[in-house]
Amino acid sequence: MVKINEEEYKKEFGIISSDKSKTEKALQHALDIRKFEIELYWKRAAYFWTLIAAAFAGYFAILGSTKLKDNEYLAFIVGCIGLLFTWAWFLVNRGSKFWQENWENHVDMLEDTVTGPLYKTVLQRPNDSDLFENFITGPLSISVSKVNQLVSLFTLCIWIVLICITLPEMNLSFPPSIKHWIVAFITILFGVLMIWKGKTYKGPYAHIATKRNTEIQHLAVNQTQGISNGE
């Protein structure tokens, strides 16, 4: 990937040229993709909440069951699943925020010559003398995505506590069983892989193209005549 400066950016998107149609199209695309990224953000959140809620339900159902053997170990497995889902949600939140901010930064750069600094200008009410209005019912400059990020982090901590509850009593003479170590290792391994190998590819984009040739095979003359005669 090649870094560019502000002048090169403005030249690429027609900001410093006399033709502003390129800038207008770029701004419209940036606004549309930003809106799309926000929609995807909440769809992903709903997807992960469904998985995490199912893991919570399964965890407590297993612990409360009287028909299952080794309840605590099974609950430990479900707890590790819930932990991994929540860790994935935490990382996906950060990834979604990265791309959302990417398009917001494009809007910041492109809007001045098209609409003026509309997106960068914030209008808000002045402080009210009513303290209840100021601190309870009034608006507050809070990042919704950051709050969601903190919720995912809180849920991650809850899963750690629930997993610890299911572990047997441990000391030097009675270490955790091998089956607990296997599940814990797999959970940690995939958690590390998500942040290590799950990053966006930033290497060279030299594409390899292949084209498939398709044609109709020509039949011999005697074969064609045989087909027309019904042979």
pLDDT of res. 225? 59
- Nearest CA to 82 out of 102, 67, 62 is that of 62
Q: What is the pLDDT of residue 226?
A: 59
Is residue 71 in a domain? Answer: yes
Whether 207 maps to a domain, the answer reads yes
SS3 174: strand
On whether residue 227 sits in a domain, the answer given is no
Note the pTM of the prediction, 2 decimals. Answer: 0.82
72 within domain boundaries? yes
Tally of domains in the chain: 1
The two structure tokens encoding residue 122: 């914030």
pLDDT at position 199:
86
Task: With CA atoms as reference, report the closest residue to 48 among 93, 98, 79, 101.
Answer: 93
Q: For 68-109, how does the pLDDT look when each residue is reduced to its tens digit (9 = 90+)?
A: 888 999 999 999 999 999 999 999 999 999 999 999 999 999
Q: Is residue 119 part of a domain?
A: yes
Q: Which residues form the domain of 33?
A: 13-212
State the Cα–Cα distance between residues 78 and 72, nearest whole angstrom. Answer: 10
pLDDT tens digit sequence for 48-69: 999 999 999 999 999 999 888 8
Side chain identity, residue 46: A
> Does a structural domain hold residue 230?
no
One digit per residue, the tens of pLDDT, for the chain of length 231 reads 788 999 999 988 988 876 789 999 999 999 999 999 999 999 999 999 999 999 999 999 999 998 888 899 999 999 999 999 999 999 999 999 999 999 999 999 999 989 999 999 999 888 877 888 888 888 888 999 999 999 999 999 999 999 999 987 765 555 668 888 999 999 999 999 999 988 888 888 787 889 898 988 877 666 555 555 555
Residue 222 belongs to a domain: no
Q: Are 39 and 76 in contact (CB under 8 A)?
A: no
The DSSP symbol for 44 reads H
Q: For residue 184, tell me if it sits in a domain.
A: yes
